[in-house]
Amino acid sequence: MNEIRIIPVQGIPEIKSGDNLAEITYDVLRKSEIGIEKNDIFVVTQKIVSKSEGMERDLSNFNFEELLKSESKKIIRKRGDLVIAKTNHGFICANAGIDKSNVEKNIALLLPEDPNKSANKFRKRFESLANLPIAVIISYTFGRAWIKGQVNFAIDSSGISPIDSYIGKLDSFDNELNATEIAVIDELASAAELVMKKTIDIPIAIIRGFHYENSKLNAKELIRDDSEDFFL
């Protein structure tokens, strides 16, 4: 088993609409001791992706309930001010992913319209600058059913297989596995959060040394169809 490093990328400036995240990240790394290595995995928080894509909404001009409806495919549960919704992307989370933390007062931040397009854009531009292959994961913080605490999950990726299937393989006791599929990009997103935090302004981390399979598949592979969901 090889050693895996999780490296916080410090020095990313406050992101605004229209900023090119790949170019900003490349410039920061070019001047730092971290450097750039082949097959680095960049875990990028959804917040700076959304900010760069102009997904901020001034609540003086937008009704929160209307935003919630526009961002939701389905309302799952509602209790007081808390709404659990299925987003237009297929994620089930609080308030359809609409967030009011780490933004200015009276501002709400929506999820990217197409996170896979965002991840591909970052990866392709960064690779063109660095002349090295990389992978990109866009992370978002989700709660978990019946368990306290939040965890970073991947809302999309580029250049990395999102899932590692063990179906058909044998375990250490020669039992055939028939259900085990590891959500690789979720595990990497969660690991990266350990150095990113929520209050120290580190929106990007590099995971270095993890061997992964390059793939054109994305996070849609992780979303169950309603017909497969036991709880809907």
pLDDT of res. 198: 67
Contact 139, 193 (CB under 8 A): yes
pLDDT of res. 168: 87
Per DSSP, 19 falls in state: -
pLDDT of res. 199: 58
Rounded to the nearest 5 percent, the helix, strand and coil shares of the chain are 30, 30, 45
pLDDT of res. 157: 96
pLDDT of res. 54: 96
Paired sense of beta strands 107-109 and 41-45, if any: unpaired
Domains along the sequence of the chain with CATH: 5-54+112-224 (3.30.1330.100), 56-111 (3.90.1660.10)
| pLDDT, tens digit only, all 232 positions of the chain | 679 999 999 999 999 999 999 999 999 999 999 999 999 999 999 999 999 999 999 988 888 888 888 999 988 888 887 889 889 998 888 888 998 887 888 888 999 999 999 999 999 999 999 999 999 999 999 888 778 888 999 999 999 999 988 888 888 898 988 888 889 999 999 999 999 976 568 999 999 999 998 888 888 888 877 777 766 6
Map residue 25 onto helix, strand or coil. helix
pLDDT of res. 80: 81
pLDDT of res. 166: 82
* CA distance linking residue 154 with residue 141, whole number of Å: 9
